[in-house]
Amino acid sequence: MEVTQDFDLEEVLYSGLQIEAPLDGFRLILRSLKNWLGRVSQRFLFTLELSQSFLITLQTNQIEPLVQLLILGEYLLPAHDTYLNKAEAYIDSFGELTPCIKANLNLIGYRMKISDVEAKNLNTRVMEPLKDLEEKYSNFRQELLLVSDEESLLDDKFWNSMKQRASVIRLPEVDFDFLMAERQKELREEYESNKRKIADELDLYRKKQENLTRYCKAFEDLILDFIKNDAFDDDPLAMCQEIIDEIELREFGRGRLSEIRSFYKDIPVELNLLEKRVISEICLLLSFF
Amino acid sequence: MAKEVIVLIKIVDSGLTNDDVVGEVQYLIEDLRDLDGMSQTRFYVVNEIRDSDEIRVGIRFEVSSTENFRSVIKRLRDRLFYNPIETRFLFQFSDLKLQIQTHKAEDLIGLMSAIQSGYLFPPQYNYFLEVEKCIHTHYHLSNVDINNLKLIGQRLGLTQEQAHDLNDEVAGKYKTREEKHNYFEKITFEEFMYFRRMRESYSFASKDRWPMLEELAENLGLPKSEAELIYKHYYKDYNEDIKLKSEQQLAKASQEAESKAKAERQKQAQQAQEWRDQYRSLCREAMTSNIYPSEYDQGRLDQARRLRNISVDEAISIEVEVRDELHGGIQSAAGVDYSRLRNLLHQQAWQEADMETEAVILKALDRDMQPATAATVQRLSAVDVATIDGLWSRYSSGRFGFKAQQQVYRAQQQIQQDDRQRLLDFQQALGWREAPSLLYQGYRPYHDLNFSLEAPQGHLPTWRWSCPSLSDRYKPSLEVIAAVIQHLNGCMLLEAAATPALDPAFPTQLA
């Protein structure tokens, strides 16, 4: 909307306004003007430019001539273009022809003297290439799914291109935003799920490591319960064998050792090697005292 | 048409030469003058200076009848159809001016239709205004309106059909307010139903539906306040439905989380239970043939307990349970330890077990090694009675124990009615006494009793704990026997047997 101005020496006066409205807004605007003119008494000049070919002017302070303007204007409006214009406006806002939109279009079609068959054809034309919002959603979701590269999905460039695609299939902006948010949420969830998977794998590995550690600890406790101060030997292997022999010599120790080995029988390492390592470490530690 | 329409036509096609333009204007005048009712029309030439020459570029004339106006427009359209030259048309209907600049014939069709309808000019135009006024005031044509309009139509010289068509044209597709209301309500209902179905099928962005419905009310000519009430009613239902579904989803999610946590807790409890079961199984393995695990098994159990995070107390409790299950329980209400008795019985050391039985019973009765009397024996708790009986019975396969003795007494009851004699016969049946003779009462020395599984049923344990002395013979008093039988009947689960009468004058020992 622009305000036109008359310059009167010092003062700037608003003398009128100019509105650019879609074809289907013609009736609404004239009705509003009619209501407004009913409340004022000044004489006004109305200029209507309907496409490049038609220009209507009316200078009046009466309501009646405006009705005449409405009648004439509606006859001059290109019926199909006006209908299509309205239908497209609806589709741009709501993405499909809902019962309410169809009812509105039906009334417009009736006023513009468009037959039911013509209206149906125009409706089909305006919904092309996809027949309803569900199909648009499904189509757009599939397109989003085709891109599995996480980085692309976080990129503004990608979303701008998708926005263009949305406008091609006449997907309203609010729906585009919704689907974008939905996909980004899915993406975050996928990311979280992958993270959890990695964490689970790490957890499994950690549990295996913990098992090893527990085995070592159990074995270490056993050794510490059985080790003798005079058992130190320069040869760790010999000393290791001595301690094991000592444990095996005593029934209680043998029982404990057997239980440890049986409990950790699934550990995928050579238990003997692990036991030797534990004994060596204990001996090394004790040798400092 | 009450007033004239002033028409101005000007050739503005830049592709034409001045001569062409002048020629076209001439042909135009001739063409229009040729029309019916136009021969008397005065055409004024519109001149313009082009290339310093004043030339004819158009014409101006007045038309005073709708019929003529329609013919003029039709002829102008036909001219453009056959000779599409850029032309500017200016029509002035009183205050209204319409300018059309085009070279296309179809651009004149709209104007032709408007003229054809007749609504642009009186009398239809005046009638149209009246109908508009009525609709604007009442949102529909009431019966009063229709009657008034009928009169107005007649006054304006309209036929009934013309008036009816105009009423329809202005009132729109839905004539009455009720029709409009019902239609709006139907569409509002369908609209919300549509979204309900959509919501069940897929998730989508929510949008405000009111502007569209408001537009419908406007298109129908239904008061906004009325439409808003209908909308609010359905919107409330729809919203409540969504709210309910969202609450259900939340509840489901929370239930799932709770189930997950419960499953996790169950898993942990299962793991702990599994470990306890493993430990119990190890205990059973270690104690199947021995009451106490060997040193090797003790080592295994000790290590198993550590590896499975089982506390010492719990491990002991499991061991006790398993031991009791495999070798008989040693519960005591008096705090007596029956483990030695169990060991001796496990070793089939019957005589030592009998002596241990005396020791534990006297301890349970707190008799400080004084023999139990008929009065004190009643104090032996049912738990202790059951434990002693259970151990003897288990290791003798039911041959020994209090229950076996009770059964023997029961058999005596069937054959001997005399209480005193029954007690004597009972001792005999147990093998505690031999058949008496004239000079021999039949009582045997304690060491002559049979401490083997070949002994008669109920032979062991003896009731030496009630005998003041065993130096001569093993000879429990009849009073004590009667008291013990009575006490056993009170403690044991055998069918109640008649207890012998206890006569104070009853001799406690046979002479």
pLDDT at B455: 94
A·B CB contacts under 8 A: 168
Stretch A243-261: mean pLDDT: 87
pLDDT computed for residue B502 by the predictor: 46
Q: Does any domain span residue A16?
A: yes
Domain count, chain A: 3
Average pLDDT by stretches of 10, chain B with 511 residues: 80 89 92 89 89 88 88 92 93 88 90 84 84 82 87 89 85 86 96 90 88 91 93 93 90 95 94 94 92 92 92 94 92 93 94 94 86 90 93 94 93 88 92 85 89 94 88 87 91 60 43 30
Q: Considering only the beta carbons, identify the residue of A68, A77, A182 that sits closest to B120.
A: A68
Nearest to B184 by CA among B228, B131, B151: B228
> A11 - beta bridge partners?
A8
**B355 and B445 part of one domain:** yes
Give yes or no: residues A71 and A91 share one domain: no
- Same-domain check for residues B429 and B366: yes
Are B187 and A104 in contact by the 8 Å Cβ rule? The answer is: no
Neighbour-count burial for A156-170, b at 16+ CB within 10 Å, e otherwise? eeebeebeeebeebb
CA distance B199 to chain A (A): 10
At what angle are helices B210-220 and A99-111 packed, to 10 degrees?
30
Q: Is residue A180 part of a domain?
A: no
- Give the tokens for residue B281: 């199984």
- Taking the CA of residue B86 and the nearest CA in chain A, the distance in Å comes to 11
Of B195, B205, B307, the CB nearest to A174: B205
Quick check: B302 and A177 CB within 8 A? no
Same domain, B77 and B161: no
Tell me whether residue B58 is in a domain: yes
- Note whether residue B412 is domain-resident: yes
Residue A3 has pLDDT above 70, yes or no: no
Residue A247 vs residue B186, higher pLDDT: B186
B5 CB neighbour count, 10 Å cutoff? 23
Report how far residue A23's alpha carbon sits from residue A2's, in angstroms, rounded to the nearest whole number.
18
Residue A107 lies in a domain: yes
Q: Are A59 and B95 a contacting pair at CB < 8 A?
A: yes
CB contact under 8 A, B96 and A258: no
**Is A88 inside any structural domain?**
yes
- The tens digit of pLDDT for each residue in A221-232 reads 888 887 766 655
Q: Whose CA is closest to B460, among B394, B499, B404, B506?
A: B404
DSSP 8-state code for residue B108: G
Tell the burial category of A175 from Cβ atoms under 10 Å away from its Cβ (0-12, 13-18, 19+): buried
Residue A220, amino acid: E
Asked if A53 lies within 8 A of B107 by C-beta distance, the reply is yes
Q: Which residues of A touch B183 (CB under 8 A)?
A: 103
Mutate to test the interface with A, among B134, B198, B303 (most CBs of A within 10 A): B303
A28: chain B residues, CB-CB within 8 Å = 218
Report if residue A160 sits inside a domain.
no
Tokens of B506: 């009853």
Continuous segment of H or E residues that includes residue B290: none
Q: Give the distance from residue B462's alpha carbon to the nearest chain A alpha carbon, in angstroms.
A: 40
Looking at the fold, whether B355 and B446 belong to one and the same domain comes out as: yes
- CA–CA min distance B97, chain A (Å): 5
Query: How many whole angstroms separate alpha carbon B119 and alpha carbon B48?
Result: 36
Whether residues B413 and B385 fall in one domain: yes
Task: Between A6 and B319, name the one with better pLDDT.
Answer: B319
Domain end marker among A128, A149, A168: A128
Q: In total, how many domains does chain B have?
A: 3
Residue B168 domain boundaries: 124-172
- Cα B237 to Cα B350: distance, rounded to the nearest angstrom: 88
Q: Is residue B500 part of a domain?
A: no
Q: Do B107 and A222 count as a contact with CB atoms less than 8 A apart?
A: no
Instruction: Inspect the interface and report whether the beta carbons of A250 and B96 lie closer than 8 Å.
Output: no
Q: How far is CA B315 from CA A6, A198, B300, B320, in A?
A: 103, 38, 12, 9
Cβ pair A100:B213 closer than 8 A: yes
Distance, in Å, from the CA atom of A127 to the CA atom of A120, rounded to the nearest integer, reads 11
Q: Please state the length of chain A.
A: 289
Q: How far is B156 from chain A (nearest CA, A)?
A: 17
CA B371, CA B175: separation in Å to the nearest integer?
Answer: 119
Q: Report the alpha-carbon distance of residue A105 to residue B338 in Å, rounded.
A: 99
The DSSP bridge partners found for residue B89 are B9, B100
- Give B125-172 as a DSSP string: HHHHHHHHHHHHHHSS--HHHHHHHHHHHHHHT--HHHHHHHHHHHH-
Interchain CB distance below 8 Å, B205 and A251: no
pLDDT reported for residue A227: 74
Domain assignment present for A181: no
Provide the shortest C-alpha distance from residue B101 to chain A (in Å): 5
Residue B486 CB contacts under 8 Å (≥ 6 apart), including other chains: B499, B500, B502
Domain identity same for B463 and B368: yes
Helix (H, G, I), strand (E, B) or coil at B91: strand
In this structure, are B377 and B466 located in the same domain?
yes
Inter-chain touch A77–B120, beta carbons under 8 Å = no
Whole-angstrom distance, CA of residue B347 vs CA of residue B342 = 9
B206 within 8 A of A175, measured Cβ to Cβ: no
What digits encode the pLDDT tens for the residues A78-89?
888 889 988 998
**pLDDT recorded at residue B507:** 41
Please name which of B157, B179, B153 lies closest in space to residue B166, comparing C-alpha atoms.
B153
B99/A56 CB distance under 8 A? yes
Using 50, 70 and 90 to split pLDDT, how confident is the model at A236?
Answer: low
Diameter over CA atoms, chain A: 124
A43 domain residue, yes or no: yes
On chain A, the residues whose CB falls within 8 A of the CB of B301 are 255, 259
Write out pLDDT tens, residues A130-184.
888 999 999 998 888 877 666 666 678 888 888 998 988 889 999 999 998 888 8
C-alpha B452: how far from chain center: 70
Residues A284 and A220: their CA atoms lie apart, in Å, by 13
Residue B302 to residue A256, Cβ atoms within 8 A = yes
How many residues in total does chain B contain? 511
Q: Is the pLDDT assigned to residue A59 strictly greater than 50?
A: yes
Q: Å from A2 to nearest chain B CA? A: 23
Of A58, A100, A255, the CB nearest to B299: A255
Same domain, A56 and A93: no
A274 pLDDT tier (thresholds 50, 70, 90) = confident
A87 domain residue, yes or no: yes
Which chain B residue shows the shortest CA-CA distance from A50? B100
pLDDT at B504: 44
Buried b (16+ CB within 10 A) or exposed e, B264-284: eeeeeeeeeeebeeebbebbe
Check whether residue A66 and residue A92 sit in a common domain.
no
Residue A183 carries which side chain, given as an amino acid letter? R
Nearest to A264 by CA among B295, B279, B304, B269: B304
| Cross-chain residue pair B300–A214, CB shorter than 8 Å | no
For residues B31 and B158, membership in a common domain is answered with no
Domain residue limits at A13: 2-76
Burial of B13 (0-12, 13-18, 19+ CB in 10 A): middle
Q: Kindly provide the ipTM of the predicted complex, given to two decimals.
A: 0.72
Q: Evaluate whether residue B321 is within a structural domain.
A: no
Q: Do B12 and B148 share a domain, yes or no?
A: no
CA distances from A218 to A215, A244, A257, B279 (A): 5, 14, 9, 17
What pLDDT was estimated at residue B497?
45
Mean pLDDT of chain A: 82
Contacts of B94 in chain A (CB under 8 A): 65
How many CB atoms are located within 10 Å of the residue B65 CB? 14
Q: Which among B187, B201, B205 has the least Cβ separation from residue A177?
A: B205
- Residue A280: is its pLDDT beyond 90? no
Flag if A56 and B98 touch (Cβ within 8 Å). yes
B77 with B148, same domain? Answer: no
Q: Give which of B173, B488, B481, B86 is closest to A105, Cα–Cα.
A: B173
Q: Tell me the one-letter amino acid at B147.
A: N
Q: B343 and B486, same structural domain?
A: yes
Residues of A in contact with B119 (CB under 8 A): 71
